[in-house]
Amino acid sequence: MRKVNRPKDKGDRAERAVVDFLDHHGFDVRRIVAGHHDDIGDIEVHPEVVLEVKDRRKLELSAWVAKLNVQKANKDSAYAFLGIKLHGKSNAEDWAYLIDGATLINILRLIRKQ
């Protein structure tokens, strides 16, 4: 009999929801295998992007952003996003997406160039 790991199952479902959301909008994405030798996020969107997904009742933004910055450094990426599932929202399009200050500046620089 398989032992149920509810937090892992919950996280896997959240990651799949974000993959489906991005795929629906034309992005070629994949989930990163857990236990990857370098922690570089949950979802591969682009070489310059780290995307971490959280489905937790208790918000731990400081810890999550600190981990996100480690992942961003591990991947040597310019952009880092934290997808946060909101209570009662199953569609990842309705979730919150948080960025760090460096990512904000990099996005604004891209927009300014256009």
Whole-model pTM: value is 0.86
Taking only the tens place, the pLDDT of each residue in 4-44 is: 677 778 889 999 999 999 999 999 999 987 766 678 999 99
Q: What is the pLDDT of residue 2?
A: 61
**89-111 confidence digits (pLDDT tens):** 999 999 999 999 999 999 999 99
- Number of other residues whose CB lies within 10 A of the CB of residue 85: 23
Torsion of CA 44, 73, 61, 28, to 10 degrees: -10
